[in-house]
Amino acid sequence: MDSRDNSFQYTPEYYAVKHNSHFVPSGSVVLATSDPNALAFRNPDNQIILIIDNQSADDIQKTIKVGQSVFTATIQSQSFSTFVIDDQSAILNLMTNEINSSDAVNIPGITPAVKALNGTEESIEKINTTLSDYYEAEKAKIQLNNVNIRAKELLGAFEENTEQLREQSALSDVIIADKKSVTDLILDQTSVLNQAMIDFQKSISTTPDQPLNVTALIKNPSFHSGDKHESISGSSEYWTIDNEQSGGDFRLNFLGGKNCWNNWSNNFKSMNVYQDLENLAPGMYQVKALAMTNQGNLNDQHLYAQSGESKVVSSEMTIDQYFNDIKGWEALETPKIEVGEDGILRIGFESTSGGDSKGWFCVTDFELIYSGN
């Protein structure tokens, strides 16, 4: 086919495919021939299909023998010729030769059938059925052999992968040991850093009028993993959620341009999100945060700080408008609370009710203020 002008020409390959595809149906069996330019098949109807190729410039005469039958034919030059042979006696003799020349003679039923040949269609059908069973068995043997070969390949690949895993496992042990060393070093340096922070706080002259912002001591104060508020960077790491409710929606959210923690329930006794701070310098602290709610959900939402048995809370929220608007963020702050020598302070935001109540809040941007002893 020439795509430039849509012209085409028939090639020898075209005629070869045409002869084979037209005369040789699926299920045909290839037969042996003594001529390299000839192909022979036995089709499912027990007809013999003979295809002969003559690529020379002259016609040739061929003597064709099928079983005990012999005939001659003229094969035109540069052509393929196909013969369909439907002679029962010739086919019977050919099938006998086919059986005797293969391992099929060892299959039960074949030898008695061969001895009983009498040229009838009944004997031909009997031999054909037995031969079909034989060929199916041979196919099954080939498939089983292929399965065995594939199984050996897979086993070899498995053994190779197992060895690689052993090597990787040994490498992992080394990496884990190195990571442990690094982790121990980080913990040591963290302890040093915490002590340095405590010493720094103590060294700074702080008063209620000149407090020190130590929000850096709060981990993830604004519920995001980046350096600014973005909807894709929300994170609740380091925070604990402690709710007493029978249903609701508790998750990260992004409202009014800020990442925040979202607590909502239509049947709750308490909703609480908090973080425990450690290694604080002894002294007075205050907690600040931004919170949001909406109409119909005001229910004792407040900020708190707790040190030991002592607990302080902010005033309750009052703004319930401007949902998902920057104007909806209400600034809350707790009274000051004293942290003792243990250096532990819990900061959080909660909402309480007598039960069978609904409420909602989002909270973010926690701050920690230190005002000294």
* Nearest-angstrom CA–CA distance, 113 and 141: 24
Is the pLDDT at 353 greater than 90? The verdict is no
- Count the residues in the chain: 373
The rounded mean pLDDT for the chain is: 81
Q: What are the residue ranges spanned by the domains of the chain?
A: 12-135, 212-370
Q: What is the pTM of this model?
A: 0.50
Q: Is the pLDDT at 110 greater than 70, yes or no? A: no
pLDDT at 105: 44
Distance (Å, whole) CA 104 – CA 142: 15
Instruction: Let me know if domain 12-135 sits in CATH 2.60.40.
Output: yes
Among 32-36, 64-68, 261-265, 285-289, name the one with the lowest average pLDDT.
64-68
DSSP string covering 324-357: TSGGG-EEEEPPPEEE-TT--EEEEEEEEEEEEE
Among 103, 89, 152, smallest CA distance to 131 is for 103
Number of H helices, E strands in the chain: 4, 17
Maximum distance among all Cα pairs of the chain, rounded to whole angstroms: 124
Q: How confident is the model at residue 340 (pLDDT cuts 50, 70, 90)?
A: very high
pLDDT higher than 80, residue 43: yes
- In the prediction, which pLDDT does 115 show? 46
- Check if CATH label 2.130.10.10 holds for domain 212-370: no
Angle at 59 between CA 55 and CA 64, to 5 degrees: 90
